[in-house]
Amino acid sequence: MAKAQKEQLIVKPSAENLAASARAAGRRGPPPVHLWNPPYCGDLDMEIRRDGTWFYLGTPIGRHALVKLFASIIRKDGDDYFLVTPVEKVGIRVIDAPFAAVDADLSGAGRDQLITFTTNVEDSVTAGPENPIRVERDPATGEPSPYVLVRRNLEALIDRKTFYRLVEKGSHADHAGGRWFGLWSGGVFFPIIPSAELG
């Protein structure tokens, strides 16, 4: 095939084409993006900010249904994020995590406590062995950045109001040879900060 003909077959990635493919692929439940291996088609000027807001061509995507649709086909390969359909794979920018955990419901207490998070795209996930909580702290300021695993290797940044509400339900436990303050959920203790640093 001539080079010119090959170039004509390459379709420039667009949000509209991705949305159409995602709708078609998701008609029978969550799209199995981990099983798809389409060709890489370049990067799209799409970005997910730290608060979970999606931008396209520098403008916030105002339609929540469209954000949910794109969120259903996001995949992380290595350190990079992509929107994946059966026919194309395009790169997008993610400033921190692809999702934001904007609320949490608690039930039970102590070791029997369950924390169920709701994300900005209405995923619901209960923290536990399969969906751990982790907290990174800024080495300079000590400011925590808490995350919960939502699906596969995709995390949600737990927003500030939700995290501080959870901290009120925290407790101390032995962990990794020391005493830590953290959260119980699903029978697992998730450490936040060494008890000695709480003053």
Are the C-beta atoms of 52 and 157 separated by less than 8 Å? Answer: yes
Q: What is the pTM of this model?
A: 0.86
Are the C-beta atoms of 102 and 162 separated by less than 8 Å? Answer: yes
Place of tokens 């060494």: 194
Place of tokens 């695993």: 149
What local confidence, expressed as pLDDT, does residue 6 receive? 41
Instruction: List Cα–Cα distances, 105 to 37, 144, 150, 152, 189, in angstroms.
Output: 36, 21, 15, 22, 17
Local confidence pLDDT in tens for the 199 residues of the chain = 444 444 444 456 777 777 777 777 655 567 889 899 999 999 999 999 999 999 999 999 999 999 999 999 999 999 999 999 999 999 999 999 999 999 999 999 989 999 999 999 999 999 999 999 999 999 898 899 999 999 989 999 999 999 999 999 999 999 999 999 999 999 999 999 999 998 6
Supply 111's token pair. 């070791």
